[in-house]
Chains A and B, each alone.
Chain A
């Protein structure tokens, strides 16, 4: 276990991007903010002109937004689930990865969760989901499990962060009040360490079923309808595996990006990539197997409706 101690000089690489901001930072933020502003403008336009601006129509009534929703929620499995699995299996090589994975989860989940709201014809009435919510609707299952997942993974992200925030507080360079607040009086006493690791252990167990439920439930949105091609029992596990697959892939991308952007070669080593790649391979095979099961049953039965979706 970590002991609480002032940072070593080796970790300076890690602190640098937090304490020093250069032109690159402003450039990146500037570009992103421009994109965000553009998106806001487009959204306002959508509010003004209606959902027709999306190009959706009959019979394609769900398009980009819902696809994105599924995609981002899928990616969100990068984090918490993977890190929880790795923690549970005590894969020690995980350490440099988990934080990154957990951050991806929290952020991407927020992005994903926003999509159905953007997709609503009447976002002004989104509160109806709580005022008149029907728990019989898979959409409500979704709302429930995504909020739970978001809460859990934020906590799960935050708990292991506490000692590190305390480090920043101790260095006392910038925004001390901020770190002081967030570090919750962390002093690194053995009692604190004990409580923290307990909490993390509880969360990592809790988060796994929630994560599985999230993606299962997303698949239910489709599988609970009577549409051929959707109405299928394999959809739950299929989506979960798909989500993990895309999650790991997203993690790869993030690792590569961060490694080169912040010079983390010392932390993200070849071994991490290798280990993760093995995981990716296993999940790919599983996913391929599910795909095979799904399509073969559809094809072999040769139901006309199924064939239509298959050949589409």
Chain B
């Protein structure tokens, strides 16, 4: 069973936001009204955390794409009263929207604050409705959602592999954000396959994980930014 993981190279990431838009569109994440967004109810499964440091002209944006870390030891699933967020056998942490009672306990429990809640009924601007992705369920009001590592793509890849009578290959499955990245800052694959690029990068000296000391064992690794050579 592959252990799917992601590497994000902060040295390469330009903060362009393509991954943010890709995820939003791929996963039918609702666009709340401007007024709602203003109140902090904007919904993104993937956000860029931006920190501006330094003085003019050496202001630097430190940009960290923030998505579900797919913890191996997820604190969010433990607290769900109804098994609506769970860790599947492939190690991915998923959500069962029709079962979620909307208590938002998992949001409180996630140390990475990556879960989002449908504060109101789904708002689908007319411009988006007809083009919703048919592979991804449309969430209803009052449930919690988050990045799923584009689980639907894994399912499709598995089906395709089965139909072609071959085992699933690492290259069959890639999340939308990873595919979109123009800087190739994101790498996705099987952390348990010692030859795969993700496994090799995860052992790099630059590799770190967010809030590592909490012991949640994230499967998203960051490669730290390198200092300028000049």
* A residues neighboring B (CB under 8 Å): 49-52, 55-62, 116, 119-123, 125-126, 128-129, 131-134, 136-140, 143, 221-222, 224-227
Contacts and interface: CB of A to CB of B under 8 A. Distances in A.
B40 to A, nearest CB: 4
Contacts of A137: 78-81, 105
A61 B117 contact: yes
A224 B111 CA distance: 12
A132 B82 contact: yes
B197 interface: no
A152 to B, nearest CB: 22
30 contacts: A49-B120, A50-B142, A51-B141, A52-B36, A52-B119, A57-B41, A57-B119, A58-B42, A59-B40, A61-B104, A61-B108, A116-B103, A121-B101, A121-B142, A121-B143, A122-B142, A125-B100, A128-B101, A132-B84, A132-B99, A136-B78, A137-B78, A137-B105, A138-B79, A222-B108, A224-B78, A224-B79, A225-B79, A225-B111, A226-B214
B104 A62 contact: yes
A48 B31 CA distance: 19
Given A52-B120, A120-B142, A225-B75, A57 B81 contact: no
A226 B111 contact: yes
B107 interface: yes
A17 B105 CA distance: 44
A221 B119 contact: no
Contact of A134 (B39, B82, B109): B82
Interface in B1-57: 36, 39-42
Given A51-B120, A133-B81, A226-B111, 9 more contacts: A52-B36, A52-B119, A58-B113, A61-B104, A120-B142, A121-B144, A129-B81, A226-B109, A227-B109
Interface in B53-102: 75, 78-84, 99-102
Is the contact region of chain B dominated by helix, strand, or loop, or is it mixed? Answer: loop
B113 A59 contact: yes
Most buried by A among B109, B111, B113: B109
Contacts of B82: 125, 128-129, 131-134
B75 A226 contact: yes
Across chains A and B, which 8 residue pairs bring their CB atoms closest together, nearest first? A121-B102, A121-B142, A50-B120, A57-B40, A52-B119, A139-B81, A225-B109, A137-B81
Contacts of B111: 225-227
Nearest to B142: A121
A303 to B, nearest CB: 10
B118 interface: yes
A55 B81 CA distance: 24
B101 A58 contact: no
A143 B108 CA distance: 18
A126 B101 contact: yes
B121 to A, nearest CB: 6
Contacts of B202: none
B81 A119 contact: no
B35 to A, nearest CB: 10
Is the contact region of chain A dominated by helix, strand, or loop, or is it mixed? Answer: loop
A121 B100 contact: yes
Given A50-B120, A59-B113, A225-B75, A120 B83 contact: no
Contacts of A128: 82, 84, 99, 101
Contacts of A221: 105
Contacts of A55: 39
B223 interface: no
B108 A51 contact: no
A226 B107 CA distance: 11
Nearest to B79: A137
A134 B102 CA distance: 15
A61 B84 CA distance: 18
A230 to B, nearest CB: 8
Nearest to A48: B121
Contacts of A131: 82
A83 to B, nearest CB: 31
A62 B115 CA distance: 13
Contacts of B198: none
B143 A139 contact: no
Contacts of B99: 125, 128, 132
B216 interface: yes
B141 A50 contact: yes
B39 A121 contact: no
B71 to A, nearest CB: 10
Contacts of A138: 79, 105
B181 interface: no
